[in-house]
Amino acid sequence: MLKLTLFTIFSAIFCAETCYGLDIKKCKEEDIKCVTANSQALYDLTIKGDPNLEIEPADPIYHNSIDGNLSIIKYTLTNTSITGYKKCKLNYAQLSLAKSFLEFNLLCPEIQVHGLYEIDGRLIVLPVQGKGDFKLDARRYNITIHAEIKTVNGNDGKSYLAVKNFNINADIIDGIDFDLTNLFNGQKELAEPVLQFARENWKEVAKELQGPILNIAIKRLIKNLNKLLKTVPVDQMLISN
C-alpha cells in the first residue's frame, strides 16, 4: 500500500500528465535487464489499450480482411480475430539510439486465429482449394521483432521514441492445429490428405502461410506502441551515455 502510494506520487511528479501509471525506470542502453523490464511494462499497456490515449486493446485483434498473396498460394481471411498476445512474455529487448535499432523477443504460449477463409493454390506440394470457417491454434510462438527507431521532438521540446518500420522472425515451437471446414467444397477424400499433410508438416506450413497474419498483428501492436511512446519522453526511459 505504502509502495503503491509512493509510486503514485513518484509518477505524478516525474510523469506529470504522461506515463499513465507505467512502471518505467531510467536505464542505461546496455542494461538489457532494465530495458527489458521497461519494454514489458510498455508491452502490457500496448495490449491492454487506453481510451485516454485512444489506444484500442490488442487482444483480440480484429481484422476484416487479410490477404495472403504468396507466390504459389493465395488466401484471404475475413472476419478474423487474433487472440493471445496478452499472454506473451517479453523475453528481452535491446536498443541503440545511435544505431536507430530496437529488437525484442516475445514468447507467446498460445496464439489463436479464427474467422472465414478462402484459399487457392499449392500448399508446398499439394493443391488446395476451399472456402469456409477456419481456426488456427499455435502453441508457443517465438516472435522476434527487429525495428528501426527514430527520435522525434514533441511540442514540449522533449524527445520521444517512435518505431519507423520493422521485420519479424517467428517460429512455432510446440505445434499448430489447423481447422479448415469445407476444403474442396466438402469433398472429404480431397480434404483429408491436405489436412493430414498440414498436421505432419506444420512447421513448414506455418512458415509458408504465417507472414501476412503476423504482419497484421505486429503492425497493430506497433501502432499502439507508437501512441504510447508519445507519452514517455526518452529522458525518462534512458540515461544518455
Cβ closer to ligand NAG: 78 or 100? 78
Cβ closer to ligand NAG: 209 or 237? 209
Q: How far is the CB of 165 from ligand NAG (least distance, A)?
A: 20
Q: How far is the CB of 171 from ligand NAG (least distance, A)?
A: 6
Q: Which residues contact 78 (CB under 8 A, 6 or more apart)?
A: 64, 65, 66, 115, 116, 117, 118
Cβ closer to ligand NAG: 93 or 229? 93
Q: How many CB atoms lie within 10 A of CB 21?
A: 12
What is the C-alpha separation between 113 and 134, in angstroms, rounded?
Answer: 8
The amino acid present at 87, given as its one-letter code, is K
Cβ closer to ligand NAG: 94 or 144? 144
Position of cell 481471411?
77
Cβ closer to ligand NAG: 23 or 56? 56
Query: What is the end-to-end Cα distance of the chain in Å, rounded?
Result: 35
C-alpha closest to that of 32 among 111, 99, 90, 118 = 90
DSSP 8-state secondary structure symbol assigned to residue 192: H
Q: How far is the CB of 79 from ligand NAG (least distance, A)?
A: 4
Q: How far is the CB of 55 from ligand NAG (least distance, A)?
A: 22
Cβ closer to ligand NAG: 47 or 66? 66
Cβ closer to ligand NAG: 79 or 167? 79
- 77 near 236, Cβ under 8 Å? no
Q: How far is the CB of 103 from ligand NAG (least distance, A)?
A: 10
> Sign (positive/negative) of CA torsion 46, 167, 165, 138?
negative
Q: Interface residues with ligand NAG (CB under 6 A)? A: 67, 69, 79, 81, 105, 107, 116, 142, 144, 169, 173
Q: How far is the CB of 170 from ligand NAG (least distance, A)?
A: 8
- 101 near 137, Cβ under 8 Å? no
Q: Can you read off the three cell numbers belonging to residue 204?
A: 513448414
Q: How far is the CB of 53 from ligand NAG (least distance, A)?
A: 26
- 85 near 92, Cβ under 8 Å? no
